[in-house]
Each structure stands twice: as structure tokens, then as C-alpha cells.
Structure 1
């Protein structure tokens, strides 16, 4: 009975380690994807855009275009839209400086968690998971705050020029929310899920230690 119990304990620990490594690898891939998504959220001028409206009495339609944290892009006769802003120097539009800074901080936290993946070869895995979890929580908080401050800043010259009348805080007027803003809101949920998973993986790392394997074996042998 004793050799059989020891073999069961060994198999149990082996399967547990494999499952934890598989989930950890999936978490690492999702963390890297989230970091790339953060870059797209930051640079894309598609947070808000004009919507199609029908005007009567010969009234001119509003300009068609989109707006982001750094640029305002208007459709033109050329295949490439005409954009105004300072994306190359990473200078945000004056009204959106606070959301842009928060998204940059969130981006830095996410890429810091990606850099921490290299620490798995040198540090305790549980510690690395928990460090990444706190970084991802900070990134999610900053991104959530940016998503709140962005519509609060809609009453600005750039929004009025693009969306015309009816623009105010949390009211885009003749515009509507575009995919980059939706992606930012989904990024908040993604950060929360990744941070929670990192905390769970960090807390379960103690079960992967050899000492725990000896304890499990001892319990099986005593049974």
C-alpha cells in the first residue's frame, strides 16, 4: 500500500504542476496581448467619431471624421484621412491630457508586468505572480479612470468642431463612441481578470513546493 500511495501522490503533484504551468502560460500570453491592445488604445484616433445624420433644407452636414487622445482626423478626397495633432511627439490634445497621461501610466504598468515575466527564472514564482497582479490592478485602475475622464472632457473646441451642437460632458452631440473607447473599457475588465488570475496562481504556488509534495505523500501513507 505504501508504494502505491507514494505513486499516487507523485502523479497528483505532477498533474497539478502541469495544470498550473498551462494556466500560467495562458496568463502570460494574455498579458502580452493586453499590452499590445494598450498600445492600440493609446495611439488610435478612434475614440469618438461622427455618425451619419440626414439634414433637411440644404443644411450642410457635419464634417466626417474621428477623434482620439492625440489626433483629430477628418475624411478627405485622399485615401488617407487628414489628421491634426501631435502623435509623433506624444503630445495629447489639450482637453485630453489627463486621460492620455492615465493611459500612458496604464501602458507602462502593463509592459512592466510583461518585463517581470523574465523574473520567473530568477525569483520565486509566487512573488512574481503577485508583483504582476498588483501592476495589472494599477493598470486597470488608471485605464478605468481615463475612461471616466475622457467623456467628462468632451466640452472642448476639438469636439465642438467635429460634433457640432449638443456637445457637453458625457454628451457627444452628433458623434458617437467608436471602437477604441470600447476597447479601452474592455481593457479594464481584462486587467481585472488577469490580476485576479495572477493572485490565484501566486497563492497556489505554495502547493507546488517539494515540501508540500512530501506532506501529501505523508498523508496518503498514513491513510
Structure 2
């Protein structure tokens, strides 16, 4: 039985869309893992000057000071799930961003039940929300440096957007990369959603509604 060009084109389009969708889904899961690291790692800030009275790192939940022990001495709030008082808002925003990313990853299961374009658009908005929350968390983190934890680690010169004897560490850089990744994945999701119909030839657009009606 001969296969028409329309059917062949449609089959190749579906295969390509699925391949790109799988890659997009893997990158979405990787973004979620990155955000978990950003949330729990106490290395948003690190001391840089050798003349500083103490040496260590600081995160949303803990302050870790280098001591005589093989590992750093980390102290935080009374509850392991409670962020430091000065960084409660950034921690909440990172959690919201993480929830949005994992929700977009969970939406991959909806491809079996919903139209692909609708799923991609939903995931795109979720990822844009994740990027916006994470970028706002980074901004508020820099604005919250005038606190007791930062002064104890970085000296008295700290202030809003002024790290004193410290500087941002690799976790903060990873958070910024997470913002960029969220924007790229959201853009790709919207592009995939728009191309679901735009790439199909006109005769295919006429055949598919007819098949849906007859079904």
C-alpha cells in the first residue's frame, strides 16, 4: 500500500516533534535538579580576603565557618527547613521556582491526554514563572546582605549589594544560569507549540479535523 506524501510528512513531523520534546523534557528535569542544588547548598557567598576574621560560606539556610575540624562548622536556624531570617523571602521564591519547574516536568505526562500545543504552552508559562521567581530571589538575596549573618562572616563593611570581605560563589552563578535556562526552555516550549500547526501542510490540516470529526 503506497504512502501519500501528506501521511509521510505528518509521520516525520511527529517523530521530529517527539525527539525535540524528549530533549526539552530532559533539559527541564536537569533544570529542576539545578534548582535543588541552588536551594540546599550553603555556598551562595564565600569569603575572599585573607585578612578577614573568619573564613567560610553562606547560603539561604546555613552559615559555614572553617575551623580546626576536617569539615566546616555549619550553623543555621533552629529548624533544618527554615531559612536564615534575612533570606526567608529569597528561599520562598526559590521554592516557588522549583515547584513551577517540577510542575512543568510533570506536565510531560499530559501529552497522552491533551493536545501537544496546549501542553507546551502550559509548560512554557510555568518555566517563565520559574525564571521570574528565581531572578527575583537572586535580586532580593543581594539586597538582604545587611544582616547579622553576613556581618559575622564578611565584616562590618557589608551592606545592601555590598559583600564586604566576601563575594558571590558558584551557587549564585548556578542560580543565574538557571534563570537563563528557564527562559530558553520556555521560549523553546512556545516555539514547539506554535509549530505544531504551522509546520503542517494545508492538506494535512484539512485531513486531521476530518479524522477527528469522524472519530
TM-score (norm 1): 0.85
Query: 1:209 Cα shift?
Result: 7.3
Query: 1:215 Cα shift?
Result: 4.7
Specify every segment of 5 or more residues in structure 2 that has no aligned partner in the other structure, as ranges: 208-215
Please list, as runs of the form range in 1=range in 2, the aligned pairs for 1:1-223 lying within 5 A after superposition: 7-53=4-50, 55=51, 61-86=52-77, 89-207=80-198, 213=204, 215=206
Query: 1:191 Cα shift?
Result: 0.4
Distance in 2, Cα, partners of 1:204 & 1:180: 36
| CA distances 1:38-70 after superposition (whole Å, capped 9, x unpaired) | 1000000000010143x4xxxxx4211000001
Distance in 1, Cα, partners of 2:95 & 2:22: 26
Specify every segment of 5 or more residues in structure 1 that has no aligned partner in the other structure, as ranges: 56-60, 217-223
Instruction: Check the 8 A contact 1:167/1:173 in 2, yes or no.
Output: yes
Query: 1:213 Cα shift?
Result: 2.1
CA 1:78–1:183 in 2, change beyond 3 Å: closer, same or farther? Answer: same
Distance in 1, Cα, partners of 2:28 & 2:146: 35
Query: What value does the CA root-mean-square deviation take over the aligned residues?
Result: 2.3
Instruction: Check the 8 A contact 1:207/1:213 in 2, yes or no.
Output: no
Runs of 4+ in 1 over 6 A off after TM superposition: 208-211
| Pairs aligned (count) | 207
Bigger Rg over Cα: 1
| CA distances 1:98-135 after superposition (whole Å, capped 9, x unpaired) | 11111111011111111111111111111111111111
Instruction: Check the 8 A contact 1:109/1:138 in 2, yes or no.
Output: yes
